[in-house]
Amino acid sequence: MTTINVQDETGRSGQLAEDMHTFLAQAAPYVEKVTQLQLPHTVTVKLLTVPGLATNYSAFIRRQVERDTTDVELTESEQKKAAALPIAAGWAARTTWAVDASVLVANTVGWPSTLIVPQALAHQGLLSDPDGLCELLVRVLAEQAQVEACRGVLVPGSAWPAVQESQNPVSQLSAGHASWATREATPLVLGKPVTDTRRQCSWTYRRQAALVFIASRGQHGRVLRRATAFVDQAMAAIGPEGFNRLWGTHDLVPTLDELRHPDRWLQRLPA
């Protein structure tokens, strides 16, 4: 049985933490049913201030860099680049905190937790959109189920060498699977179709979103749609049980080309 642990580290989001705890507990069985993945023994969500997000995310990237560079001989230039990544991660968190509704991290042994800034939810209009908030929390569960399935090896992704999302098949696969699971499971949790609400996002959110759009060259939305379409086609062809083999057999992770052409991935799967 999964234990839900929502920690309010802001000191002022106690009611939100209670509401999230209740919903996550209700949603967990549906996410496991849809994905056919087991959730971690403990699903941990941390509600943080912006400085808290930056500190936690920077520490996570530092752990990932240390993991990824163990027994790897780096040049002096590479050492400097690797050492700069946690600092850059903290800076990015402070700069675009309103854009990411949740951030998946893991500890040194691969146990996941999700970082959420309640202030960011407010700027995105999610605190006044119950269905949208439910979708977010279902995605949180789906992502943590991925980590449990791969024992933290694939998800969250590696930090070194640094790779853009558009060139990272694991990142795209994770996002597409979480998007698919959210679409499939949320109506089951709610007991009704998701209400498509036009949220009133703040100027702060719009400004930060524009920065992210420019940095990603506008590719994020297209990449996510393509990854979700890949999961759609794969699930229709082989179902969750067949799909989930890739979390434990990493050679089955699709390449960038296969994410664009799911048929090619399906053709190379073992019988």
Structural contact between residues 33 and 76, judged by C-beta atoms closer than 8 angstroms: no
The pLDDT score that the predictor gives to residue 166 is 84
**Per-residue confidence (pLDDT) for residue 19, from 0 to 100:** 98
Q: Percent of the chain, pLDDT > 90?
A: 90
Classify 235 as helix, strand or coil.
helix
Record the tokens describing residue 59, joined without a space.
Answer: 């520490």
pLDDT, mean over the chain: 96
pTM: 0.96
Residue 25 in tokens: 């507990």
Name the burial class of residue 173, with classes exposed (0-12), middle (13-18) and buried (19+) by CB atoms within 10 angstroms of its CB. buried
Parallel, antiparallel, or unpaired: how do β-strands 42-47 and 103-106 relate?
unpaired
Residue 125, C-beta contacts closer than 8 angstroms, at least 6 positions apart: 132, 199, 200, 201, 202
Residue-number span of the structural domain to which 258 is assigned: 3-268
Q: Tokens 């530092």, residue? A: 62
Per-residue pLDDT tens for 31-44? 999 999 999 999 99
Checking if the pLDDT of 116 tops 90, the result is: yes
Predicted local confidence at residue 13, as pLDDT: 98
Question: What is the identity of the amino acid at 123?
Answer: H
- Count of domains in the chain? 1
What is the rounded average pLDDT of the residues 225-249? 98
83, amino acid identity: A
Confidence of residue 50 (pLDDT cuts 50, 70, 90): very high
Task: Specify the pLDDT at position 218.
Answer: 72
Would you give the DSSP letter of residue 98?
A: T
pLDDT given at position 101: 93
- What does each C-alpha distance from 101 to 115, 136, 153, 158, 264 come to in angstroms? 9, 8, 23, 21, 34
